[in-house]
């Protein structure tokens, strides 16, 4: 059992865009190949649901777990709270009542007794940060959550929250979930679908991780919706700049040399750095390609292969 394989299976569209049979096939194949970490959220995926609310992904995972008795204890199940829409058109946020209510709902939908990693999905500056930290910490103290993470927050807020947790004597956030890839958008450019102001990994993030080795980085959308391999999915315009051109030339040359798709090199590079890329796939073939990136861990995907200026 490869609990440290690094790759995380993203289940955002399971139960909505990805039907139940396909979702089950992907989950079965992932586990068969040694994968054990599944990532979802209470809001997945409200924008594809006629109800305007999420929960479909968690419910599908709950049905799959029920159909595979005995497997749950081998898995790391991560879910999130904070950005599920409310009936009045707002967003649920990160108040103590929301965290308490939604964690219970996630546990019920998943059919489990404890969430392995519980994420603060997005910022809520209308709620005092101490209230949020204390509410997450209370879940760990009660044993219904095992570990805490934070997504789409600026680094200074992460550090402030960790300081509050230390002062209160509760469990701190020990994982970050942000987006990045081998190529990056132009500074200040708007990336379609990426509306989290602090959702991207930056130099400050990397520096923070280097100084806090207890923190993990989970990377969502690491392959930019398939743009590295698929001509029918060009990179968004925000990525059109000389740096992308240079990096892609280096990446494609290395992929050709290794005889693998460029996407596998990108995932292999992240795994070599100790990051956990979250792969969102819609077919077993796509999943198998992503799983093969694990073989590239032994390749030195750093300066001497990719060029000193090719990667951050």
Q: What is the CATH number of the domain that holds 239?
A: 3.20.20.100
Domain total for the chain? 1
Residue 115 near residue 140, CB atoms below 8 Å = no
pLDDT value, residue 178 = 98
Query: pLDDT (tens digit, 9 = 90+) per residue, 60-91?
Result: 999 999 999 999 999 999 999 999 999 999 99
Domain ranges, residue 111? 8-306
Tell me: the pLDDT tens digits for 98-150? 999 999 999 999 999 999 999 999 999 999 999 999 999 999 999 999 999 99
Q: What pLDDT, on a 0 to 100 scale, did the predictor assign at position 308?
A: 37
Query: What is the reported pLDDT for 194?
Result: 78
Q: Is the dihedral of CA 71, 73, 76, 77 positive or negative?
A: positive
Q: Is 179 part of any domain?
A: yes
Residue 64 exposed, middle or buried by CB count within 10 Å (0-12, 13-18, 19+):
buried
CA 277 to chain centre: 7
In a domain, 312, yes or no: no
Is the bond preceding 45 in cis, omega lying within 30 degrees of 0? yes
| Coil/strand/helix, residue 225 | helix
Cα distances (angstroms) measured from residue 91 to each of 83, 87, 292: 5, 9, 38
Distance separating alpha carbons of residues 78 and 67, to the nearest angstrom: 19
Tokens representing 290?
Answer: 């992503």
What does the block give as tokens for 78? Answer: 């991560």
Question: Residue 100 domain-assigned?
Answer: yes
In a domain, 2, yes or no: no
Residue 311 placed within a domain: no
pLDDT given for residue 195 in this prediction: 76
Domain-located, residue 50 = yes
Q: What pLDDT, on the 0 to 100 scale, is given for residue 38?
A: 98
Residue ranges for the chain with pLDDT beneath 70? 1-5, 297-312
pTM over 0.85: yes
Residue 3 belongs to a domain: no
In a domain, 170, yes or no: yes
Q: Which residues of 186-221 are buried (b: 16+ CB within 10 A; e: fewer)?
A: eeeeebeebeeebbbbbeebeebbeeeeebbbbbbb
Q: Is 204 helix (H, G, I), strand (E, B) or coil?
A: helix
pLDDT at 3: 42
| Distance, CA of 61 to CA of 84 (rounded, Å) | 18
């Amino acid at each position: 059992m490869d609990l440290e394989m690094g790759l995380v299976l993203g289940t955002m569209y399971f139960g909505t865009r990805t039907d139940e049979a396909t979702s089950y096939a992907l989950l079965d194949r992932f586990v068969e190949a040694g994968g054990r970490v599944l990532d979802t959220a209470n809001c997945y995926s409200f924008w594809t649901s006629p109800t305007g609310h999420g929960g479909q992904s968690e419910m599908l995972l709950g049905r799959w777990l029920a159909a595979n008795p005995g497997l749950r204890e081998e898995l790391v199940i991560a879910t999130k709270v904070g950005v599920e829409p409310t009936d009045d058109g707002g967003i649920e946020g990160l108040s103590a009542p929301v965290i308490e209510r939604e964690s219970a709902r996630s546990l019920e939908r998943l059919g489990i007794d404890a969430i392995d990693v519980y994420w603060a999905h997005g910022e809520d500056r209308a709620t005092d940060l101490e209230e949020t930290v204390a509410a997450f910490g209370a879940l760990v103290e009660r044993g219904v959550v095992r570990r805490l993470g934070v997504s789409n927050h600026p680094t200074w807020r992460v550090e402030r929250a960790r300081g509050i947790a230390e002062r209160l004597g509760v469990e701190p956030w020990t994982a970050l979930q942000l987006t990045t890839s081998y190529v990056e958008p132009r500074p200040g450019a708007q990336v379609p679908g990426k509306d989290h102001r602090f959702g991207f990994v930056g130099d400050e993030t990397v520096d923070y991780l280097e100084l806090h080795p207890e923190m993990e980085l989970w990377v969502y959308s690491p392959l930019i919706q398939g743009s590295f391999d698929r001509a029918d999915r060009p990179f968004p315009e925000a990525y059109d700049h000389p740096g992308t051109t240079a990096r892609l030339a280096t990446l494609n040359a290395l992929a050709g040399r290794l005889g693998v798709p460029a996407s596998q090199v990108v995932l292999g590079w992240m795994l070599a750095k100790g990051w956990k890329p979250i792969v969102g796939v819609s077919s077993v073939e796509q999943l198998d390609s992503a799983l093969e990136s694990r073989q590239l861990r032994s390749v030195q995907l750093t300066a001497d292969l990719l060029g000193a200026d090719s990667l951050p």
